[in-house]
């Protein structure tokens, strides 16, 4: 029988590969190179990585012998994975709701942030399992929880954006 750890490795490689491909394509979009092809590759690769990401998270949790998040690195991996998932969904929705390529550099830059977060998660996984990472300079003994003051500021910004929206949100 194949273990959850083996499935986690397989799905991790799939996610990292797809997000790395998407990150390169987003970089080409930022640099204004091969826009049409890069746009298609970036968004489809990100979608492919997103489809495998939940399986990676589930198999990763089951691969842990205690089946719980009892380590700071694991907590950071889960938080960053779900953050990257949310940003990626937002990037894809923005692209497909606009029904065509998006001009400018902000959209692909946000896509590159999501791809970078996934690569950071993979590097933290290497630190957890083998004790080695390309990101040796990052603190490993803290959990990157979003502070309450930052959440409050984002909530207020969102409420201000709703009040300035071109869509009429009042009922009646």
Q: What is the DSSP string of 67-117?
A: SS--SHHHHHHHHHHHHHHHHHHHHHHHHHHTTSPPPSSHHHHHHHHHHHH
User: What is each CA distance from 4 to 10, 63, 67, 79, 94, in whole angstroms?
Assistant: 10, 5, 11, 20, 34
User: In terms of pLDDT, which residue wins out, 163 or 87?
Assistant: 87
DSSP helix/strand/coil, 121: helix
C-alpha–C-alpha distance, residues 4 and 134, integer Å: 25
pLDDT in tens, 100-146: 777 788 889 989 999 999 998 888 888 888 888 877 777 767 776 66
Q: What is the DSSP string of 144-171?
A: -PPPHHHHHHHHHHHHHHHHT-SS----
C-alpha–C-alpha distance, residues 129 and 134, integer Å: 14
Task: Please measure the distance between the N-terminal and C-terminal CA atoms of the chain and give it in whole angstroms.
Answer: 60
Predicted structure pTM score: 0.79
DSSP H/E element including 145: none
Class of domain 4-138: mainly alpha
Whether the predicted pLDDT of 166 surpasses 60: no
C-alpha–C-alpha distance, residues 83 and 118, integer Å: 9
pLDDT in tens, 41-90: 999 999 999 999 889 988 988 887 775 667 788 888 888 888 888 889 88
C-alpha–C-alpha distance, residues 155 and 165, integer Å: 15
């Amino acid at each position: 029988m194949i273990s959850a750890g083996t499935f986690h490795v397989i799905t991790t490689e799939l996610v990292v590969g797809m997000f790395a491909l998407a990150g390169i394509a987003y970089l080409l979009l930022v640099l204004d190179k091969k826009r049409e092809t890069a746009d298609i590759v970036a968004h489809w690769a990100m979608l492919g990585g997103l489809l495998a990401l939940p399986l990676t998270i589930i198999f990763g949790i089951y691969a842990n012998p205690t089946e719980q998040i009892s380590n700071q690195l694991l907590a950071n991996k889960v938080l960053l994975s779900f953050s990257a998932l949310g940003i990626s969904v937002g990037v894809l929705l923005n692209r497909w709701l606009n029904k065509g390529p998006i001009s400018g550099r902000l959209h692909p830059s946000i896509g590159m942030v999501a791809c970078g977060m996934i690569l950071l998660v993979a590097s933290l996984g290497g630190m957890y399992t083998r004790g080695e990472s390309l990101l040796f300079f990052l603190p490993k003994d803290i959990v990157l929880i979003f502070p309450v003051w930052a959440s409050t500021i984002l909530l207020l910004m969102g409420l201000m954006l709703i009040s300035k929206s071109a869509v009429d949100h009042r009922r009646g």
